[in-house]
Amino acid sequence: MAEPARVLELAGASVQVFENADHAALAAADRIAGAIRSAVARKGQAVIGLATGATPEAVYARLVSLHRAGGLSFAGVTTYNLDEYHPISPHDPRSYRAYMHRHLLAHVNIAADRAHVFDGTVPRDAAAEHAAQFGRWIAADGGIDLQVLGIGRNAHIGFNEPTDLPVPEALNLPCRPITLRPETRALYAVEFGGEDRVPRALTVGVAEILAAREILVLAFGETKADPVARSLLGPLTAECPGSLLRAAPGRVTWIIDEAASTSL
């Protein structure tokens, strides 16, 4: 069990700072495994919200090894992924469905119909209804027990991008289609062969994220020092979606490495 080098209390959240990203990933995986075991023991099911991206890769590797060692069953687990490109085929290796298959779903005993990722193939005029339906599925499953989040360099959570909406409206943003901001598209431009070719996306809303019983935010590396500091120390504003997590005091744990903590 990896122990944090230090723990800070900031903006209603517990911030655990680990010596490096490997230790942080181990701690995050242990925390997720613990949440799965306790929810399954309590109510027969654990509903876990998942993120993709570079940050959680080592976390998923650790969950897979816990499973292989016989220490973690996914039999009672339901997952909801935060986001997906749209349009995109699930067979496209850049899709988040393919990512989840590669890093977790293919390697554990989760029921195929309990692992939910937005359908990147729905027609454009059906995307809003599909996203809304995703939100209703989450609600019908009793909401999210543990939500895993990364944070964008622009402080987006899921694909809830910075916006100039007033805070009360931003806190209520639901599951919906979204156009990614230029700075986000720039990050994915190489993968998609140009900024203009990065698809739109579907995202779980700020409302569903904030309703989770527990929220785990992962941030590793120096490129995350600025969004981490703005989320925890800067103004509460929808221009910094990470700061909206302050609306869930006592339910948010940040698991970060030293490099991501340098501006705190």
Verify whether residue 83 is a known catalytic residue: yes
Query: How many residues bind ligand F6R, per CB under 6 A?
Result: 14
Which of residues 147 and 237 has its CB atom nearest to ligand F6R in the complex?
147
What is the nearest approach in angstroms of ligand F6R to the Cβ of residue 107? 19
165's tokens: 């909406």
| 83, 161, 214, 257: residue in contact with ligand F6R (rule CB under 6 A) | 83
Which of residues 83 and 214 has its CB atom nearest to ligand F6R in the complex?
83
Helices 21-43 + 57-68 axis angle, to 10: 50
| 34, amino acid identity | G
Whose CB is nearest to ligand F6R? 150
Q: Which residues contact 148 (CB under 8 A, 6 or more apart)?
A: 28, 32, 48, 49, 50, 51, 56, 59, 216, 218
| 20, 42, 43, 54: residue in contact with ligand F6R (rule CB under 6 A) | 54
- Given its phi and psi angles, is residue 256 left (phi above 0), alpha (psi -120 to 50 degrees) or beta? beta
What is the nearest approach in angstroms of ligand F6R to the Cβ of residue 20? 16
State the Cα–Cα distance between residues 260 and 264, nearest whole angstrom. 9
What is the nearest approach in angstroms of ligand F6R to the Cβ of residue 42? 27
237's tokens: 């504003």
Verify whether residue 154 is a known catalytic residue: yes
Verify whether residue 160 is a known catalytic residue: no
Q: Which of 84, 103, 154, 214 is catalytic?
A: 154
What is the nearest approach in angstroms of ligand F6R to the Cβ of residue 123? 23
Q: Pick from 141, 134, 149: which is nearest to 217 by CA?
A: 149
| 24, 28, 36, 82: residue in contact with ligand F6R (rule CB under 6 A) | 82
Q: Pick from 88, 179, 174, 178: which is nearest to 132 by CA?
A: 174
User: What is the footprint of ligand F6R within residues 23-52 (CB under 6 A)?
Assistant: 51-52
What is the nearest approach in angstroms of ligand F6R to the Cβ of residue 102? 14
Verify whether residue 156 is a known catalytic residue: yes
User: What is the footprint of ligand F6R within residues 142-201 (CB under 6 A)?
Assistant: 150-152, 156-159
Which of residues 46 and 202 has its CB atom nearest to ligand F6R in the complex?
202
DSSP class of 180: P
What is the nearest approach in angstroms of ligand F6R to the Cβ of residue 96? 6
| 53, 135, 174, 234: residue in contact with ligand F6R (rule CB under 6 A) | 53
Q: Which residues contact 38 (CB under 8 A, 6 or more apart)?
A: none
Q: Which of 23, 67, 116, 156 is catalytic?
A: 156
For 24, 104, 152, the CA distances from 14, given in Å and listed in that order, are 14, 27, 19
Rounded to the nearest 5°, which phi and psi values hold at 157? -125, 130
Question: Which residues of this protein are in contact with ligand F6R, per CB under 6 A?
Answer: 51-55, 82-83, 150-152, 156-159
Residues labelled catalytic: 83, 154, 156, 161
